[in-house]
Amino acid sequence: MNKVLPNDIHLEEAVLGAIIQTPSLMHQVDGYFSSSNDVLYHNRSRILWQKLKNMIRENRVVDLATVASSLTEKEKRSGVTMTYLVDVTTDSALPTKVEIYGKKLYEKFLLRKVIEKTYTIQDRAYSNVSGVFDEVVEAHTYLGELINYKPDKTFDIEGQMDNTIEAITDEESKLIHTGYSGLDDLAGGLTRGELTIVG
């Protein structure tokens, strides 16, 4: 795969920065991020997430200073440095957005899994290798979960009424004026593509 898989480093860092500033926000995304180590796409994000999770589980104080002072040499070599921590806290998400961002990141994870599974299914099917059905079932599971997270599209009657009224009164609408002012005033004119019977 030469294409970059779905991810969003800005959302990852915004959520992590918000948790450093307000550790109680972790519960809003823990359900999404703890389902797999791969929900967060970028390695630095994964490392910082695990550090924050461990610190909170151990009832340690979590803020920029305590997280920075607890960094190990290995974490620093992985890119989780003081500069990185300052960057994520500077561009952190508003507390009201943390769960929304967590959900978006989880959706991107599900998309990655679907893409990975489709490649695996394709390879196994071409190679005539057993286990294709198991891969299809896993892909179906990820697709089902992805569909569950898709926002509902509900019919907005008010919006449709506003659009209809606007279209009727719009000078550039599909209405054709008949030249009979009484009829045009009453009906607005004739509609293109429709049969109109005048009695």
3-state secondary structure the chain: CCCCCCCCHHHHHHHHHHHHHCHHHHHHHHHHHCCCCCCCCCHHHHHHHHHHHHHHHCCCCCCHHHHHHCCCHHHHHCCCCHHHHHHHHHCCCCHHHHHHHHHHHHHHHHHHHHHHHHHHHHHHHHHCCCCHHHHHHHHHHHHHHHHHHCCCCCCCHHHHHHHHHHHHHCCCCCEECCCCHHHHHHHCCEECCCCCCCC
C-alpha to C-alpha distance for 60 and 52, rounded to whole angstroms = 10
If you compute the radius of gyration of the chain from its CA atoms, what whole number of angstroms results? 27
CATH class of 9-104: mainly alpha
146 neighbors 118 (Cβ within 8 angstroms):
no
67: alpha, beta or left? (left if phi > 0; alpha if psi -120 to 50): alpha
Residue 64 pLDDT exceeds 80: yes
pTM of the entire structure?
0.70
Helices 82-90 + 43-57 axis angle, to 10: 90
% pLDDT > 70, the chain: 74
Rounded to a whole number of angstroms, the distance between the first and last alpha carbons of the chain is: 67
Lowest mean pLDDT among 68-72, 134-138, 178-182: 178-182
Q: How many Å apart are CA 168 and CA 175, to the nearest integer?
A: 8
Model confidence at 18, in pLDDT bands (50, 70, 90)?
A: very high
**What local confidence, expressed as pLDDT, does residue 171 receive?**
47
What is the number of alpha carbons within 13 Å of residue 35 lying toward its C-beta? 15
- Cα–Cα–Cα angle for 141, 116, 8, rounded to 5 degrees: 95
Residue ranges covered by each domain of the chain = 9-104, 107-149, 157-191
Contact (CB, 8 A) for 93 and 101: yes
Answer yes or no: is pLDDT of 123 > 60.
Answer: yes
- Per the prediction, the chain carries an average pLDDT of 84
